[in-house]
Structure 1
Amino acid sequence: MSTDPTTHTLWPEGVLCRHLTSVDSTMAEAARLAPTLEAPTWIVADAQTGARGRRGRDWQTPAGNFAATLIYRPNCTAQQASLRSFMAAVALFEALAMYVDRTKLSLKWPNDVLLNGGKVAGILLETSGQGPYVDWLAIGIGVNLAHVPQGVREAAFPPVSVTGEGGPEVAPLDFLVRLANDFSTQEAKLWEFDFDIIRADWLRHAARLGEVITARTARDEITGTFETIDNDGNLVLITPEGPRVIPAADIYF
Protein backbone atom coordinates (compact mmCIF):
# COMPACT_ATOMS: atom_id res chain seq x y z
CA MET A 1 0.00 0.00 0.00
CA SER A 2 1.04 3.65 -0.24
CA THR A 3 2.59 5.48 2.70
CA ASP A 4 -0.71 7.35 3.07
CA PRO A 5 -3.24 5.00 4.75
CA THR A 6 -6.09 7.41 4.06
CA THR A 7 -6.00 6.50 0.35
CA HIS A 8 -6.98 2.89 1.12
CA THR A 9 -10.57 1.93 0.31
CA LEU A 10 -11.10 0.68 3.89
CA TRP A 11 -10.02 3.94 5.52
CA PRO A 12 -12.94 5.54 7.40
CA GLU A 13 -14.39 8.71 5.94
CA GLY A 14 -13.61 11.95 7.72
CA VAL A 15 -10.67 10.55 9.69
CA LEU A 16 -7.16 11.95 9.27
CA CYS A 17 -3.73 10.34 9.70
CA ARG A 18 -0.31 11.68 10.65
CA HIS A 19 2.58 9.32 9.95
CA LEU A 20 5.78 10.16 11.83
CA THR A 21 9.19 8.57 11.43
CA SER A 22 10.04 9.12 15.10
CA VAL A 23 8.39 10.78 18.09
CA ASP A 24 8.75 10.75 21.86
CA SER A 25 5.35 9.09 22.05
CA THR A 26 2.21 9.17 19.96
CA MET A 27 0.23 10.00 23.10
CA ALA A 28 2.38 13.07 23.75
CA GLU A 29 2.02 14.10 20.12
CA ALA A 30 -1.75 13.73 20.40
CA ALA A 31 -1.82 16.07 23.41
CA ARG A 32 0.20 18.62 21.44
CA LEU A 33 -2.18 18.33 18.50
CA ALA A 34 -5.32 18.64 20.64
CA PRO A 35 -5.66 22.47 20.69
CA THR A 36 -5.81 22.62 16.88
CA LEU A 37 -7.62 19.32 16.27
CA GLU A 38 -9.81 19.58 13.17
CA ALA A 39 -11.07 15.98 12.86
CA PRO A 40 -10.47 12.53 14.39
CA THR A 41 -6.80 11.84 13.75
CA TRP A 42 -4.66 8.73 13.97
CA ILE A 43 -1.02 9.46 14.82
CA VAL A 44 1.24 6.55 13.90
CA ALA A 45 5.02 6.42 14.42
CA ASP A 46 7.73 4.11 13.14
CA ALA A 47 9.66 4.64 16.38
CA GLN A 48 8.97 6.05 19.85
CA THR A 49 11.70 7.30 22.18
CA GLY A 50 9.73 7.78 25.39
CA ALA A 51 6.53 5.75 25.30
CA ARG A 52 4.74 4.69 28.46
CA GLY A 53 1.99 2.21 29.23
CA ARG A 54 -0.44 2.05 32.15
CA ARG A 55 0.78 3.46 35.46
CA GLY A 56 3.86 4.90 33.78
CA ARG A 57 5.31 1.54 32.81
CA ASP A 58 7.85 1.48 30.00
CA TRP A 59 6.52 0.51 26.57
CA GLN A 60 9.06 -0.39 23.91
CA THR A 61 8.44 -0.03 20.19
CA PRO A 62 11.04 -1.97 18.19
CA ALA A 63 11.04 -1.29 14.46
CA GLY A 64 8.22 -3.21 12.81
CA ASN A 65 5.89 -3.05 15.80
CA PHE A 66 2.78 -0.90 15.87
CA ALA A 67 2.45 2.35 17.83
CA ALA A 68 -0.45 4.72 17.24
CA THR A 69 -2.86 7.05 19.01
CA LEU A 70 -6.31 8.14 17.94
CA ILE A 71 -7.31 11.58 19.18
CA TYR A 72 -10.81 12.93 18.72
CA ARG A 73 -13.66 14.79 20.38
CA PRO A 74 -16.21 12.10 21.35
CA ASN A 75 -18.86 14.50 22.75
CA CYS A 76 -19.24 12.51 25.96
CA THR A 77 -18.57 12.59 29.70
CA ALA A 78 -15.35 11.33 31.27
CA GLN A 79 -17.14 8.14 32.37
CA GLN A 80 -18.43 7.52 28.85
CA ALA A 81 -14.95 8.19 27.49
CA SER A 82 -13.45 5.58 29.81
CA LEU A 83 -15.81 2.93 28.42
CA ARG A 84 -14.19 3.42 25.03
CA SER A 85 -11.24 1.36 26.24
CA PHE A 86 -13.51 -1.69 25.88
CA MET A 87 -14.63 -0.51 22.45
CA ALA A 88 -10.98 -0.10 21.43
CA ALA A 89 -10.19 -3.57 22.76
CA VAL A 90 -12.95 -5.14 20.65
CA ALA A 91 -11.73 -3.25 17.56
CA LEU A 92 -8.16 -4.35 18.26
CA PHE A 93 -9.30 -7.96 18.70
CA GLU A 94 -11.07 -7.88 15.33
CA ALA A 95 -8.10 -6.29 13.57
CA LEU A 96 -5.70 -8.91 14.97
CA ALA A 97 -8.14 -11.69 14.06
CA MET A 98 -7.48 -10.87 10.40
CA TYR A 99 -3.95 -12.18 10.84
CA VAL A 100 -4.09 -14.88 13.55
CA ASP A 101 -6.56 -17.53 14.65
CA ARG A 102 -9.19 -15.63 16.64
CA THR A 103 -9.58 -18.57 19.04
CA LYS A 104 -6.03 -17.87 20.22
CA LEU A 105 -6.88 -14.26 21.10
CA SER A 106 -8.53 -13.03 24.31
CA LEU A 107 -9.17 -9.77 26.12
CA LYS A 108 -7.75 -9.25 29.60
CA TRP A 109 -9.49 -6.70 31.80
CA PRO A 110 -9.16 -3.82 31.63
CA ASN A 111 -7.25 -3.15 28.41
CA ASP A 112 -4.82 -5.81 27.15
CA VAL A 113 -5.04 -8.29 24.31
CA LEU A 114 -3.56 -11.75 24.81
CA LEU A 115 -2.33 -14.14 22.11
CA ASN A 116 -1.79 -17.72 23.26
CA GLY A 117 -1.82 -16.35 26.81
CA GLY A 118 0.92 -13.77 26.26
CA LYS A 119 0.48 -10.01 25.97
CA VAL A 120 0.48 -8.96 22.32
CA ALA A 121 -1.14 -5.53 22.64
CA GLY A 122 -2.05 -2.83 25.14
CA ILE A 123 -4.34 0.20 25.26
CA LEU A 124 -3.94 3.49 27.13
CA LEU A 125 -6.54 6.27 27.45
CA GLU A 126 -6.04 9.94 28.29
CA THR A 127 -8.65 12.69 28.40
CA SER A 128 -8.78 16.41 29.05
CA GLY A 129 -11.69 18.64 30.00
CA GLN A 130 -13.01 20.86 32.78
CA GLY A 131 -16.75 20.75 32.10
CA PRO A 132 -19.29 17.92 31.99
CA TYR A 133 -17.87 16.72 28.67
CA VAL A 134 -14.26 15.89 27.81
CA ASP A 135 -12.48 18.26 25.44
CA TRP A 136 -10.72 15.36 23.77
CA LEU A 137 -9.94 11.68 24.14
CA ALA A 138 -6.67 10.01 23.14
CA ILE A 139 -6.54 6.24 22.75
CA GLY A 140 -3.00 4.88 22.49
CA ILE A 141 -2.48 1.40 21.10
CA GLY A 142 0.70 -0.65 20.94
CA VAL A 143 0.94 -4.01 19.21
CA ASN A 144 3.87 -6.40 19.02
CA LEU A 145 3.54 -7.22 15.35
CA ALA A 146 7.09 -8.31 14.57
CA HIS A 147 9.13 -8.31 17.77
CA VAL A 148 8.95 -9.08 21.46
CA PRO A 149 10.31 -6.19 23.56
CA GLN A 150 13.58 -7.05 25.26
CA GLY A 151 14.33 -6.86 28.96
CA VAL A 152 10.77 -7.44 30.19
CA ARG A 153 11.24 -9.42 33.39
CA GLU A 154 8.86 -10.94 35.90
CA ALA A 155 5.83 -10.16 33.77
CA ALA A 156 2.65 -11.96 34.75
CA PHE A 157 1.82 -12.12 31.04
CA PRO A 158 5.09 -12.31 29.09
CA PRO A 159 5.05 -10.33 25.84
CA VAL A 160 4.58 -12.18 22.56
CA SER A 161 4.47 -11.04 18.94
CA VAL A 162 2.22 -11.85 16.02
CA THR A 163 5.04 -13.33 13.95
CA GLY A 164 6.52 -15.11 16.98
CA GLU A 165 3.23 -16.94 17.48
CA GLY A 166 3.04 -18.12 13.88
CA GLY A 167 1.27 -15.15 12.31
CA PRO A 168 2.31 -13.42 9.08
CA GLU A 169 4.49 -10.35 8.74
CA VAL A 170 2.21 -7.32 8.95
CA ALA A 171 3.28 -3.80 7.99
CA PRO A 172 2.25 -1.29 10.68
CA LEU A 173 0.48 0.98 8.18
CA ASP A 174 -1.50 -1.96 6.79
CA PHE A 175 -2.51 -2.85 10.34
CA LEU A 176 -3.54 0.75 10.97
CA VAL A 177 -6.01 0.62 8.08
CA ARG A 178 -7.67 -2.47 9.55
CA LEU A 179 -7.72 -1.02 13.05
CA ALA A 180 -9.07 2.38 11.99
CA ASN A 181 -11.83 0.69 10.05
CA ASP A 182 -12.76 -1.61 12.93
CA PHE A 183 -12.65 1.25 15.44
CA SER A 184 -15.04 3.34 13.36
CA THR A 185 -17.40 0.36 13.16
CA GLN A 186 -17.35 -0.07 16.94
CA GLU A 187 -17.84 3.67 17.53
CA ALA A 188 -20.92 3.58 15.28
CA LYS A 189 -22.27 0.59 17.23
CA LEU A 190 -21.72 2.43 20.51
CA TRP A 191 -23.71 5.44 19.31
CA GLU A 192 -26.49 3.26 17.88
CA PHE A 193 -26.87 0.68 20.64
CA ASP A 194 -25.11 2.17 23.69
CA PHE A 195 -22.53 0.35 25.83
CA ASP A 196 -24.60 -2.84 26.15
CA ILE A 197 -23.50 -4.19 22.78
CA ILE A 198 -19.85 -3.27 23.34
CA ARG A 199 -19.97 -4.92 26.76
CA ALA A 200 -21.46 -8.09 25.26
CA ASP A 201 -18.83 -8.18 22.51
CA TRP A 202 -16.04 -7.67 25.03
CA LEU A 203 -17.31 -10.39 27.36
CA ARG A 204 -17.54 -12.80 24.43
CA HIS A 205 -13.76 -12.59 24.09
CA ALA A 206 -12.86 -12.10 27.77
CA ALA A 207 -9.99 -14.13 29.19
CA ARG A 208 -10.92 -16.45 32.07
CA LEU A 209 -14.56 -15.44 32.25
CA GLY A 210 -16.25 -17.74 34.78
CA GLU A 211 -12.91 -18.78 36.26
CA VAL A 212 -11.06 -17.85 39.44
CA ILE A 213 -8.70 -14.88 39.03
CA THR A 214 -6.92 -12.45 41.35
CA ALA A 215 -7.22 -8.67 41.27
CA ARG A 216 -4.50 -6.64 42.98
CA THR A 217 -5.55 -3.12 43.85
CA ALA A 218 -3.54 -0.39 45.54
CA ARG A 219 -4.98 -1.57 48.88
CA ASP A 220 -5.54 -5.31 48.75
CA GLU A 221 -5.66 -8.53 46.78
CA ILE A 222 -9.03 -10.03 45.87
CA THR A 223 -9.51 -13.55 44.54
CA GLY A 224 -12.80 -14.71 43.14
CA THR A 225 -14.72 -15.98 40.14
CA PHE A 226 -14.75 -13.57 37.21
CA GLU A 227 -18.50 -13.03 36.88
CA THR A 228 -18.77 -10.10 34.46
CA ILE A 229 -18.06 -6.43 33.91
CA ASP A 230 -20.84 -4.04 34.87
CA ASN A 231 -22.30 -1.15 32.88
CA ASP A 232 -19.52 1.13 34.12
CA GLY A 233 -16.80 -1.27 33.01
CA ASN A 234 -15.96 -2.35 36.57
CA LEU A 235 -14.73 -5.89 37.18
CA VAL A 236 -17.18 -8.04 39.17
CA LEU A 237 -15.75 -10.96 41.14
CA ILE A 238 -17.77 -13.46 43.16
CA THR A 239 -15.88 -14.09 46.41
CA PRO A 240 -16.73 -16.11 49.54
CA GLU A 241 -17.84 -12.79 51.09
CA GLY A 242 -20.10 -11.99 48.15
CA PRO A 243 -19.77 -9.96 44.93
CA ARG A 244 -16.92 -7.44 44.74
CA VAL A 245 -16.99 -4.56 42.26
CA ILE A 246 -13.50 -3.44 41.33
CA PRO A 247 -12.91 -0.22 39.35
CA ALA A 248 -9.12 -0.56 38.95
CA ALA A 249 -6.63 -3.37 39.50
CA ASP A 250 -3.96 -5.56 37.96
CA ILE A 251 -5.25 -9.02 37.06
CA TYR A 252 -3.45 -12.33 37.58
CA PHE A 253 -4.43 -15.90 36.74
Structure 2
Amino acid sequence: MTNWPEGYGRRVLAEVDSTNAEAARIAPELMAPEWILGLRQTKGRGRRGRAWVDPVGNFAATLVMRPAESPDQVALRSFVAALALYDAFVAVTGRSAGFALKWPNDVLLNGGKVAGILLESAGLAGGAVSHIAIGIGVNLAHAPDTGAVEAQATRPVSLLSETGAAVDPESFLDALAASYARWEAQFVTYGFEPIRTAWLARAARIGEVMTARTTREETTGTFETVDSAGNLVLKTAKGRVAVAAADIFF
Protein backbone atom coordinates (compact mmCIF):
# COMPACT_ATOMS: atom_id res chain seq x y z
CA MET A 1 0.00 0.00 0.00
CA THR A 2 1.55 3.31 -1.11
CA ASN A 3 0.41 6.91 -0.79
CA TRP A 4 -2.70 6.01 1.20
CA PRO A 5 -4.47 9.30 1.99
CA GLU A 6 -4.25 10.56 5.53
CA GLY A 7 -7.50 10.49 7.48
CA TYR A 8 -9.14 7.67 5.50
CA GLY A 9 -9.69 4.20 6.92
CA ARG A 10 -9.19 1.04 4.85
CA ARG A 11 -10.72 -2.40 5.32
CA VAL A 12 -10.46 -5.31 2.91
CA LEU A 13 -13.01 -8.13 3.24
CA ALA A 14 -12.53 -11.54 1.67
CA GLU A 15 -16.30 -11.76 1.15
CA VAL A 16 -19.26 -9.48 1.78
CA ASP A 17 -22.88 -9.36 0.70
CA SER A 18 -22.56 -5.77 -0.51
CA THR A 19 -20.00 -3.12 0.33
CA ASN A 20 -22.78 -0.53 0.48
CA ALA A 21 -24.67 -2.76 2.94
CA GLU A 22 -21.50 -3.10 5.02
CA ALA A 23 -21.15 0.69 4.93
CA ALA A 24 -24.63 1.08 6.41
CA ARG A 25 -23.75 -1.38 9.17
CA ILE A 26 -20.56 0.40 10.26
CA ALA A 27 -21.75 3.98 9.73
CA PRO A 28 -23.15 4.53 13.26
CA GLU A 29 -19.69 3.96 14.81
CA LEU A 30 -17.77 5.76 12.09
CA MET A 31 -15.18 8.27 13.28
CA ALA A 32 -13.62 9.09 9.89
CA PRO A 33 -14.19 8.30 6.19
CA GLU A 34 -13.56 4.61 5.47
CA TRP A 35 -13.01 2.60 2.32
CA ILE A 36 -14.47 -0.92 2.25
CA LEU A 37 -13.22 -3.32 -0.43
CA GLY A 38 -14.98 -6.64 -1.01
CA LEU A 39 -12.80 -9.16 -2.83
CA ARG A 40 -15.97 -11.19 -3.37
CA GLN A 41 -19.40 -9.59 -3.31
CA THR A 42 -22.41 -11.93 -3.17
CA LYS A 43 -25.30 -9.47 -3.50
CA GLY A 44 -23.92 -6.51 -5.40
CA ARG A 45 -26.40 -4.03 -6.77
CA GLY A 46 -26.47 -1.09 -9.11
CA ARG A 47 -28.85 1.80 -9.68
CA ARG A 48 -32.60 1.29 -9.31
CA GLY A 49 -32.02 -2.01 -7.49
CA ARG A 50 -30.46 -3.75 -10.48
CA ALA A 51 -28.07 -6.61 -9.80
CA TRP A 52 -24.39 -5.80 -10.30
CA VAL A 53 -22.44 -8.74 -11.74
CA ASP A 54 -19.20 -9.01 -9.78
CA PRO A 55 -16.82 -11.84 -10.73
CA VAL A 56 -13.67 -12.40 -8.67
CA GLY A 57 -10.94 -10.10 -9.97
CA ASN A 58 -13.24 -7.16 -10.49
CA PHE A 59 -13.47 -4.21 -8.12
CA ALA A 60 -16.28 -3.60 -5.61
CA ALA A 61 -15.72 -0.95 -2.96
CA THR A 62 -17.57 1.71 -0.99
CA LEU A 63 -16.43 4.91 0.64
CA VAL A 64 -18.58 5.66 3.68
CA MET A 65 -18.41 9.04 5.34
CA ARG A 66 -20.34 11.55 7.45
CA PRO A 67 -20.83 14.66 5.31
CA ALA A 68 -21.42 18.16 6.65
CA GLU A 69 -23.25 19.64 3.69
CA SER A 70 -26.95 19.85 2.81
CA PRO A 71 -28.47 16.82 1.01
CA ASP A 72 -28.38 18.51 -2.41
CA GLN A 73 -24.66 19.24 -2.02
CA VAL A 74 -23.93 15.77 -0.65
CA ALA A 75 -25.39 14.22 -3.81
CA LEU A 76 -22.83 16.07 -5.93
CA ARG A 77 -20.15 13.72 -4.63
CA SER A 78 -21.08 11.36 -7.45
CA PHE A 79 -19.18 13.81 -9.68
CA VAL A 80 -16.25 13.83 -7.24
CA ALA A 81 -16.18 10.03 -7.39
CA ALA A 82 -16.35 10.04 -11.20
CA LEU A 83 -13.33 12.32 -11.43
CA ALA A 84 -11.47 10.17 -8.92
CA LEU A 85 -12.22 7.07 -10.99
CA TYR A 86 -11.00 8.76 -14.16
CA ASP A 87 -7.71 9.71 -12.50
CA ALA A 88 -7.31 6.23 -11.01
CA PHE A 89 -7.68 4.68 -14.46
CA VAL A 90 -5.06 7.04 -15.84
CA ALA A 91 -2.74 6.19 -12.93
CA VAL A 92 -2.96 2.41 -13.36
CA THR A 93 -2.84 2.36 -17.17
CA GLY A 94 -0.57 5.31 -17.92
CA ARG A 95 -3.05 6.60 -20.50
CA SER A 96 -6.09 8.85 -20.69
CA ALA A 97 -7.14 8.05 -24.26
CA GLY A 98 -10.46 6.24 -24.45
CA PHE A 99 -11.78 7.20 -21.00
CA ALA A 100 -14.82 9.47 -20.65
CA LEU A 101 -17.45 10.26 -18.02
CA LYS A 102 -21.09 9.50 -18.74
CA TRP A 103 -23.75 11.40 -16.82
CA PRO A 104 -24.85 10.70 -14.17
CA ASN A 105 -22.43 8.11 -12.79
CA ASP A 106 -20.61 5.86 -15.25
CA VAL A 107 -17.10 5.75 -16.68
CA LEU A 108 -16.70 4.73 -20.30
CA LEU A 109 -13.71 3.14 -21.97
CA ASN A 110 -13.64 3.08 -25.76
CA GLY A 111 -17.39 3.74 -25.66
CA GLY A 112 -18.21 0.83 -23.34
CA LYS A 113 -19.09 0.93 -19.64
CA VAL A 114 -16.10 0.00 -17.48
CA ALA A 115 -17.30 1.39 -14.12
CA GLY A 116 -20.39 2.57 -12.29
CA ILE A 117 -21.13 4.55 -9.15
CA LEU A 118 -24.00 3.99 -6.70
CA LEU A 119 -24.51 6.76 -4.17
CA GLU A 120 -26.75 6.04 -1.17
CA SER A 121 -27.42 8.16 1.90
CA ALA A 122 -29.24 7.89 5.21
CA GLY A 123 -30.95 10.81 6.85
CA LEU A 124 -31.54 12.26 10.27
CA ALA A 125 -34.41 14.29 11.62
CA GLY A 126 -34.55 17.71 10.01
CA GLY A 127 -33.40 16.50 6.63
CA ALA A 128 -29.68 16.31 7.38
CA VAL A 129 -27.62 13.43 6.00
CA SER A 130 -26.17 11.15 8.68
CA HIS A 131 -23.88 9.25 6.31
CA ILE A 132 -23.24 8.70 2.64
CA ALA A 133 -22.05 5.53 0.92
CA ILE A 134 -20.35 5.89 -2.46
CA GLY A 135 -20.35 2.43 -4.02
CA ILE A 136 -18.01 1.85 -6.95
CA GLY A 137 -17.89 -1.15 -9.25
CA VAL A 138 -15.19 -1.59 -11.87
CA ASN A 139 -14.81 -4.28 -14.51
CA LEU A 140 -11.10 -4.72 -13.96
CA ALA A 141 -10.72 -8.22 -15.39
CA HIS A 142 -14.16 -9.31 -16.58
CA ALA A 143 -17.13 -7.68 -18.31
CA PRO A 144 -20.70 -8.99 -17.96
CA ASP A 145 -22.17 -10.78 -20.95
CA THR A 146 -24.11 -8.35 -23.11
CA GLY A 147 -27.20 -10.50 -22.52
CA ALA A 148 -27.07 -9.51 -18.85
CA VAL A 149 -27.72 -5.82 -19.55
CA GLU A 150 -30.93 -4.19 -20.72
CA ALA A 151 -31.62 -3.47 -24.36
CA GLN A 152 -29.97 -0.28 -25.68
CA ALA A 153 -27.78 0.00 -22.58
CA THR A 154 -24.11 0.83 -23.03
CA ARG A 155 -22.12 -2.32 -23.72
CA PRO A 156 -19.96 -3.48 -20.81
CA VAL A 157 -16.19 -3.73 -21.21
CA SER A 158 -13.29 -4.60 -18.93
CA LEU A 159 -10.10 -2.69 -18.29
CA LEU A 160 -8.04 -5.77 -19.13
CA SER A 161 -9.71 -6.49 -22.46
CA GLU A 162 -9.59 -2.88 -23.66
CA THR A 163 -6.13 -1.82 -22.47
CA GLY A 164 -4.23 -5.00 -21.59
CA ALA A 165 -3.64 -3.60 -18.07
CA ALA A 166 -3.91 -6.31 -15.42
CA VAL A 167 -4.72 -4.54 -12.15
CA ASP A 168 -5.69 -6.27 -8.91
CA PRO A 169 -8.47 -4.80 -6.73
CA GLU A 170 -6.24 -3.73 -3.84
CA SER A 171 -3.86 -1.87 -6.12
CA PHE A 172 -6.78 -0.14 -7.79
CA LEU A 173 -8.15 0.84 -4.36
CA ASP A 174 -4.84 2.50 -3.51
CA ALA A 175 -4.97 4.58 -6.69
CA LEU A 176 -8.65 5.42 -6.28
CA ALA A 177 -8.39 6.44 -2.62
CA ALA A 178 -5.50 8.79 -3.38
CA SER A 179 -7.29 10.45 -6.31
CA TYR A 180 -10.58 10.68 -4.41
CA ALA A 181 -8.90 12.46 -1.49
CA ARG A 182 -7.52 15.11 -3.87
CA TRP A 183 -10.89 15.83 -5.49
CA GLU A 184 -12.72 15.71 -2.15
CA ALA A 185 -10.38 18.39 -0.80
CA GLN A 186 -11.21 20.58 -3.81
CA PHE A 187 -14.93 20.03 -3.35
CA VAL A 188 -14.88 20.87 0.36
CA THR A 189 -12.67 23.92 -0.16
CA TYR A 190 -14.03 25.44 -3.36
CA GLY A 191 -17.49 23.91 -3.85
CA PHE A 192 -18.98 22.28 -6.92
CA GLU A 193 -17.97 24.70 -9.67
CA PRO A 194 -14.37 23.46 -10.21
CA ILE A 195 -15.67 19.88 -9.99
CA ARG A 196 -18.32 20.64 -12.61
CA THR A 197 -15.74 22.25 -14.91
CA ALA A 198 -13.34 19.31 -14.58
CA TRP A 199 -16.14 16.79 -15.12
CA LEU A 200 -17.34 18.54 -18.29
CA ALA A 201 -13.78 18.49 -19.66
CA ARG A 202 -13.92 14.68 -19.46
CA ALA A 203 -17.58 14.21 -20.40
CA ALA A 204 -18.81 11.84 -23.09
CA ARG A 205 -20.97 13.05 -25.97
CA ILE A 206 -21.22 16.79 -25.28
CA GLY A 207 -22.90 18.38 -28.29
CA GLU A 208 -24.49 15.11 -29.34
CA VAL A 209 -28.08 13.90 -29.24
CA MET A 210 -29.08 11.55 -26.42
CA THR A 211 -32.19 10.31 -24.67
CA ALA A 212 -32.81 10.66 -20.93
CA ARG A 213 -35.31 8.04 -19.78
CA THR A 214 -37.12 7.69 -16.46
CA THR A 215 -39.90 5.31 -15.45
CA ARG A 216 -42.44 7.97 -16.45
CA GLU A 217 -41.04 9.78 -19.47
CA GLU A 218 -38.16 10.27 -21.83
CA THR A 219 -36.53 13.38 -23.21
CA THR A 220 -34.38 13.52 -26.32
CA GLY A 221 -32.11 16.44 -27.06
CA THR A 222 -28.58 17.71 -27.53
CA PHE A 223 -26.32 17.45 -24.49
CA GLU A 224 -25.39 21.06 -23.70
CA THR A 225 -23.94 21.00 -20.19
CA VAL A 226 -24.36 20.02 -16.56
CA ASP A 227 -25.75 22.85 -14.44
CA SER A 228 -24.78 24.05 -10.96
CA ALA A 229 -27.16 21.53 -9.37
CA GLY A 230 -25.66 18.60 -11.27
CA ASN A 231 -28.61 18.31 -13.68
CA LEU A 232 -28.12 17.21 -17.26
CA VAL A 233 -29.14 20.04 -19.60
CA LEU A 234 -30.57 19.03 -22.97
CA LYS A 235 -31.51 21.34 -25.82
CA THR A 236 -34.79 20.02 -27.22
CA ALA A 237 -37.35 21.16 -29.76
CA LYS A 238 -39.29 22.69 -26.86
CA GLY A 239 -36.31 24.47 -25.35
CA ARG A 240 -33.68 23.66 -22.74
CA VAL A 241 -34.62 20.91 -20.29
CA ALA A 242 -32.81 20.15 -17.02
CA VAL A 243 -32.91 16.46 -16.08
CA ALA A 244 -32.28 15.62 -12.43
CA ALA A 245 -32.14 11.82 -12.70
CA ALA A 246 -32.48 9.39 -15.60
CA ASP A 247 -30.89 6.58 -17.54
CA ILE A 248 -29.05 7.89 -20.60
CA PHE A 249 -29.07 6.27 -24.02
CA PHE A 250 -26.96 7.36 -26.98
Structure 1 residues 36-55: aligned runs within 5 Å: 36-55=29-48
Q: CA deviation at 1:155?
A: 5.1
Structure 1 residues 13-24: aligned runs within 5 Å: 13-24=6-17
Q: Identify the residue that residue 130 of structure 2 maps to in structure 1.
A: 135
Structure 1 residues 35-74: aligned runs within 5 Å: 35-74=28-67
Q: CA deviation at 1:156?
A: 1.6
2:170 counterpart of 1:170: no
Find the aligned partners of 1:188 and 1:251 in 2 and give their Cα distance: 29
Runs of 4+ that moved beyond 4 A? none
Q: Identify the residue that residue 146 of structure 1 maps to in structure 2.
A: 141
Q: Which amino acid aligns with 2:230?
A: G
Q: Does the 8 Å CA contact 1:64/1:146 hold for their aligned counterparts?
A: yes
CA RMSD of aligned residues (A): 1.2
Aligned residues: 246
Find the aligned partners of 1:166 and 1:61 in 2 and give their Cα distance: 20
Q: Which amino acid aligns with 1:152?
A: A
Q: Secondary structure at the match of 1:63?
A: coil
Find the aligned partners of 2:2 and 2:173 in 1 and give their Cα distance: 13
Find the aligned partners of 1:210 and 1:158 in 2 and give their Cα distance: 21
Q: 2:68 aligns with which of 72, 75, 78?
A: 75
Q: Which amino acid aligns with 1:73?
A: R
2:241 counterpart of 1:239: no
Aligned residues with identical type, % of pairs: 56
Q: CA-to-partner distance for each residue in 1:200-225, whole Å, 9 max, x for gaps?
A: 01101111011111111222221111
Name stretches of at least 5 consecutive residues in structure 1 with no aligned partner. 1-7
Q: Identify the residue that residue 109 of structure 1 maps to in structure 2.
A: 103
Q: Identify the residue that residue 3 of structure 1 maps to in structure 2.
A: none
Q: Which amino acid aligns with 2:60?
A: A
Q: Which amino acid aligns with 1:143?
A: V
Q: Identify the residue that residue 4 of structure 1 maps to in structure 2.
A: none
Q: Identify the residue that residue 161 of structure 1 maps to in structure 2.
A: 158
Q: CA-to-partner distance for each residue in 1:30-83, whole Å, 9 max, x for gaps?
A: 000011112111000110111110001110111110000000112111111100
Name stretches of at least 5 consecutive residues in structure 2 with no aligned partner. none
Question: Normalising to structure 2: TM-score of the pair?
Answer: 0.95
Q: Which amino acid aligns with 2:15?
A: S
Q: Identify the residue that residue 186 of structure 1 maps to in structure 2.
A: 183
Find the aligned partners of 1:211 and 1:36 in 2 and give their Cα distance: 46
Q: Secondary structure at the match of 1:12?
A: coil
Q: Does the 8 Å CA contact 1:121/1:144 hold for their aligned counterparts?
A: yes
Q: Which amino acid aligns with 2:40?
A: A
Q: Secondary structure at the match of 2:74?
A: helix
Find the aligned partners of 1:54 and 1:9 in 2 and give their Cα distance: 32
Question: Normalising to structure 1: TM-score of the pair?
Answer: 0.94
